Amino acid sequence: MKSDTDPRHTSRKLALSSIFSWLFTETDTDKCVSTSTEILESEGIEYDDELTKIIVEGVKKHSIEIDKIIEECAPEWPIDKIAKIDLVILRIAIFEILFGKKTPAKVAIDEAVEIAKEFGNDTSHKFINGVLGAVVEKYLPKEMENILKEEKEK
pLDDT at 41 over 90: no
pLDDT at 134 over 60: yes
- How does pLDDT run across 87-123, given as a tens digit for each residue? 999 999 999 999 998 889 999 999 999 999 999 999 9
Domains of the chain: 7-153 (1.10.940.10)
Q: Would you place residue 38 in the very low, low, confident or very high pLDDT band (cuts 50, 70, 90)?
A: low
Q: Would you place residue 82 in the very low, low, confident or very high pLDDT band (cuts 50, 70, 90)?
A: very high
pLDDT at 1 over 50: no
Question: How is the chain classified by DSSP, letter by letter?
Answer: ---TT-HHHHHHHHHHHHHHHHHHT-S-HHHHHHHHHHHHHHTT----HHHHHHHHHHHHHHHHHHHHHHHHH-TTS-GGGS-HHHHHHHHHHHIIIIII-SS-HHHHHHHHHHHHHHHS-TTHHHHHHHHHHHHHHHH-HHHHHHHHHHHHH-
pLDDT of residue 37: 62
